[in-house]
Amino acid sequence: MMIKEKLTPFTEINREAGHYIAGGVVSINRKVSPQIVFIKGKGSKIYDVTGKEYIDYHAGFAPYLLGHNFKKINDAVLEVIKSEWSLMGSGTNPLEIKLARLLCESIPSLELVQITNTGSEATAHAIRLARAWTKRDDIILTLGGYNGWHNEVARHVMPDLEEIGSRVSAGEYPFIASSSGIPESTKEKVHIVNFNDLESVEYVLKNYPVACLLTEPVLQNIGIVSPKPGYLQGLIDLCEKYGALCIFDEVKTGFRSALGGYQAVAGVKPHLSVFGKAVANGYPIGVIGGKKEIMDLFDSPDPAKRVLIAGTYTAHPINTAASIATIEFLKNPKAYAWIDKISNRLYKGLTNLFNEFGISFNLSTNASSFCVYFCEKTPDDLHDILENHDFKFDSIYRKALIERGIYHFPIPCKQGSISYAHSEEDIDITLAATREVLKSI
């Protein structure tokens, strides 16, 4: 018996996409079910092709800290267009100088910066820079972290327990590639350890010629996994002890944690840092910065030491203007005060609801970023999630919310993001929809 295909208002659009786009979407990470076709975002809301409105907690993988199409950011972009700014591809210009100054003033560990188009480019440059500085090749990454798409970091973010095996400490885990086409020789230079495991970090540093450790200070691609007290400073101290560089990937934590990044919250200074996402409130940009003596390798007078950094479209006036406007807006304490207030309203409401319905949960948060884990233990690493989280319930929960106009990315353990544009009414509507969902499932 032939099962009749369930048609949706998006079916024909997705079919057409499949005819012309490899995989049907222009970033395979966007390939999810339900296959909703969105066409507009304004403030805290997104709209699909049918005109249906959703309160958005996905935020395009988190860059829209101020909300979609925030007026002050768009006005800055329109101004550079009206003023006929162009990317000359020769020399510097006042816009990129102003952005660099604002970044260095806002983030204490940044003595010099360089601009890229994406976070993946920034992490690739950071690894290359670390290798040039240390004259070593090996790197350490964190299990459950995401640091971009290039070969050294392209491993599964959420592998199965069967793939990685049980927790080991001190020790490391296999490189489970998220892509074919990665040379085995590249994988051999990459060492995967668990988050919050200083013993394993030291084990690798002792046994291999490590150039750098690259980690998110808070794991925000498997939800929200926070560092234990002393962990981040411990990473920096171990890297310094063994002659490696400690690199913070703050593409996700970045301005969402604070204007100075999560490193400012934790009171630590990594050797290098990369930023992206919220820097330009949705416009594409990446940042790499850190200690002057390391960053100076980008223009070393010695060709043998010089590290190439290039990009035709880096610091494009549109993206640069958006970044400047974003930082200047966030410098007003009232911006973060409102984001904190509205985030806490949601967190308190969700906590009350899950308690009311007797559901085992952990609401893990980092400022305006959050994740609900359906388990009794607050996760300290990926193993805690894989061993305890109810993935099936999470998937049902997210899709039921989407049906009611509350958009969370429909994959378990993906971060939720709250914006400056969210209102108290948005939160109350979200909580009312959550109550309906919990009643139904």
* 96 lies in the same domain as 135: yes
* 81 lies in the same domain as 200: yes
What backbone torsions phi and psi does residue 417 show, to the nearest 5 degrees?
-135, 130
Which of 155, 54, 25, 32 shows the shortest CA–CA distance to 411? 32
Query: If you average pLDDT over residues 183-199, what whole number do you get?
Result: 97
pLDDT at 5 over 60: no
Residue 363 lies in a domain: yes
Helix (H, G, I), strand (E, B) or coil at 57: coil
* 65 lies in the same domain as 150: no
Dist. CA 408–CA 418, nearest whole Å: 11
Residue located via tokens 């699909």 = 48
CATH of the domain at 59: 3.90.1150.10
- State the pLDDT at residue 238: 98
Which of 30, 47, 15, 62 shows the shortest CA–CA distance to 276? 62
* 55 lies in the same domain as 200: no
Residue 193 lies in a domain: yes
* Banded pLDDT at 406 (limits 50, 70, 90): very high
Q: For residue 264, count CB atoms less than 10 angstroms from its CB and return exposed for 0-12, middle for 13-18, buried for 19 or more.
A: middle
- State the pLDDT at residue 1: 42
* 260 lies in the same domain as 222: yes
* 272 lies in the same domain as 346: no
- State the pLDDT at residue 150: 97
Of 284, 308, 330, the last residue of a domain is: 330
Q: For residue 342, count CB atoms less than 10 angstroms from its CB and return exposed for 0-12, middle for 13-18, buried for 19 or more.
A: buried
* 182 lies in the same domain as 86: yes
Active site residues: 146, 249, 277
Query: If you average pLDDT over residues 63-91, what whole number do you get?
Result: 96
Which of 65, 99, 124 shows the shortest CA–CA distance to 315? 99
Six token digits for residue 235: 């990473």
Helix (H, G, I), strand (E, B) or coil at 51: coil
DSSP 363: E
261-309 residue pLDDT tens: 999 999 999 999 999 999 999 999 999 999 999 999 999 999 999 999 9
pLDDT at 3 over 80: no
What backbone torsions phi and psi does residue 343 show, to the nearest 5 degrees?
-65, -45
Calculate ∠ Cα 409-219-164, nearest 5°.
95
pLDDT at 77 over 70: yes
- State the pLDDT at residue 6: 63
Query: If you average pLDDT over residues 205-233, what whole number do you get?
Result: 98
- Residue 48: partners with Cβ closer than 8 Å, 6 or more residues away: 9, 10, 36, 37, 38, 39, 54
Residue 16 lies in a domain: no
Six token digits for residue 264: 């400012």
Do the Cβ atoms of 189 and 152 come closer than 8 Å?
yes
Of 299, 314, 330, the last residue of a domain is: 330
pLDDT at 2 over 70: no
Query: If you average pLDDT over residues 160-177, what whole number do you get?
Result: 96
Q: pTM for the whole thing?
A: 0.96
Do the Cβ atoms of 64 and 41 come closer than 8 Å?
yes
* 136 lies in the same domain as 194: yes
How far are the Cα atoms of 210, 335, 402 from residue 9, in angstroms, in the given order? 52, 38, 15
Query: If you average pLDDT over residues 76-86, what whole number do you get?
Result: 97
Six token digits for residue 282: 């949705």
For residues 150-183, one letter each, b for 16 or more C-beta atoms within 10 angstroms of the residue's C-beta and e for the rest, the string is ebbbbbbbbbeeeebeebeeeebbebbbbeeebe
Residue 409 lies in a domain: yes
Six token digits for residue 142: 């964190």
Between 333-356 and 317-330, two packed helices, what is the crossing angle to 10 degrees? 80
- State the pLDDT at residue 9: 86
* Banded pLDDT at 52 (limits 50, 70, 90): very high
CATH of the domain at 321: 3.40.640.10
Mean pLDDT of the chain: 96
* 342 lies in the same domain as 316: no
Domain with 163, as residue range(s), is 71-330
- State the pLDDT at residue 8: 80
What percent of the chain shows pLDDT beyond 70? 98
- How many domains, in total, are found in the chain? 2
pLDDT at 202 over 90: yes
* 84 lies in the same domain as 187: yes
How far are the Cα atoms of 21, 22, 36, 113, 271 from residue 25, in angstroms, in the given order? 6, 7, 12, 33, 37
Of 274, 303, 330, the last residue of a domain is: 330
92-136 residue pLDDT tens: 999 999 999 999 999 999 999 999 999 999 999 999 999 999 999
* 386 lies in the same domain as 434: yes
Residue 119 lies in a domain: yes
**Size of the chain in residues:** 441
Strands (E), 173-233: 190-193, 210-215
Residue ranges in 135-283 assigned as alpha helix (H): 161-164, 184-187, 198-207, 231-242, 254-257, 262-266
* 286 lies in the same domain as 362: no
